[in-house]
């Protein structure tokens, strides 16, 4: 079972914690992570891009010129795709980019994402992650004391108004509850700062 040191706000060790083998000791398959991240980004796409075909462009009701005698190619509309200001051929139309992946694939990738961060030494467990008032300065001091400046994901067991509000003004520092995590969010951050209680919450939510 993977073990990790627990630190306090002064960045001193206060003990060790056993991390769930299923979550932090899983096999890391990059192809699996890639597939799930692509799925996540595809599901976020709005799919509202659209261009006008010749039938949607306004105008073009009158024949530009007579059929014969001009020496030019015959034309029935000045909104033809070959005309300036005409419609677009095979342009994007509103569509749904989302698709589903099997649950087993998602869970395997989820565990692999945590395991990848743990094997790279990017997981930090703190005994208590809280601030007295929701001020960015207090959270900044806490992170600086731990040697964390940016690209940090703070993982909490449940809602913490003070920490969540204080982190809003910090660039590339995000807060997520255990129930809100996904593969993309985990991999998008270089460091994971996890509250000790969040580790126990993971066992309940992910393994319970």
Same domain, 190 and 108: yes
Give tens-digit pLDDT for 131-182: 989 999 999 999 999 999 889 999 999 999 999 999 999 988 999 999 999 9
The parent domain of residue 126 ranges over: 3-45+98-206
Same domain, 57 and 144: no
pLDDT at 175: 95
For residue 2, name the pLDDT band (cuts at 50, 70, 90).
confident
Same domain, 186 and 124: yes
Same domain, 201 and 109: yes
Q: Among the three residues 96, 130, 160, which one is the final residue of a domain in this structure? A: 96
Same domain, 105 and 84: no
Same domain, 155 and 167: yes
* pTM for this entry: 0.83
Q: Among the three residues 81, 96, 111, which one is the final residue of a domain in this structure? A: 96
Output the CA–CA distances (angstroms, integers) from residue 116 to 33, 67, 112, 124, 148, in the order listed: 10, 69, 6, 13, 19
For residue 27, name the pLDDT band (cuts at 50, 70, 90).
very high
Q: Positive or negative, the Cα torsion across 29, 44, 100, 21? A: positive
Q: Among the three residues 96, 131, 159, which one is the final residue of a domain in this structure? A: 96
Could you give the number of structural domains in the chain?
A: 2
Instruction: Assess contact for 186 and 113: CB atoms under 8 A.
Output: yes
């Amino acid at each position: 079972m993977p073990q990790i040191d627990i630190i306090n706000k002064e960045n001193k060790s206060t003990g060790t914690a056993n991390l769930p083998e299923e979550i932090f000791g899983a096999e890391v398959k990059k192809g699996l992570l890639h597939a799930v991240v692509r799925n996540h980004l595809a599901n976020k796409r709005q799919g509202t891009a659209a261009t006008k075909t010749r039938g949607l462009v306004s105008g073009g009701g009158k024949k530009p010129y007579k059929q014969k005698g001009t020496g030019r190619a015959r034309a029935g509309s000045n909104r033809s795709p070959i005309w300036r200001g005409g419609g677009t051929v095979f342009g994007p139309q509103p569509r749904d980019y989302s698709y589903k992946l099997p649950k087993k694939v998602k869970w395997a990738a989820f565990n692999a994402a945590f395991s990848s961060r743990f094997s790279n030494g990017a997981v930090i467990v703190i005994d208590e992650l809280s601030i007295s008032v929701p001020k960015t300065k207090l959270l900044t001091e806490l992170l600086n004391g731990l040697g964390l400046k940016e690209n940090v994901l703070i993982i909490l067991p449940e809602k913490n108004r003070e920490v969540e509000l204080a982190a809003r003004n910090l660039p590339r520092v995000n807060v997520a509850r255990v129930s809100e995590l996904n593969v993309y969010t985990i991999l998008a951050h270089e460091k994971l700062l996890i509250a000790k209680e969040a580790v126990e919450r993971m066992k309940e939510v992910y393994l319970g």
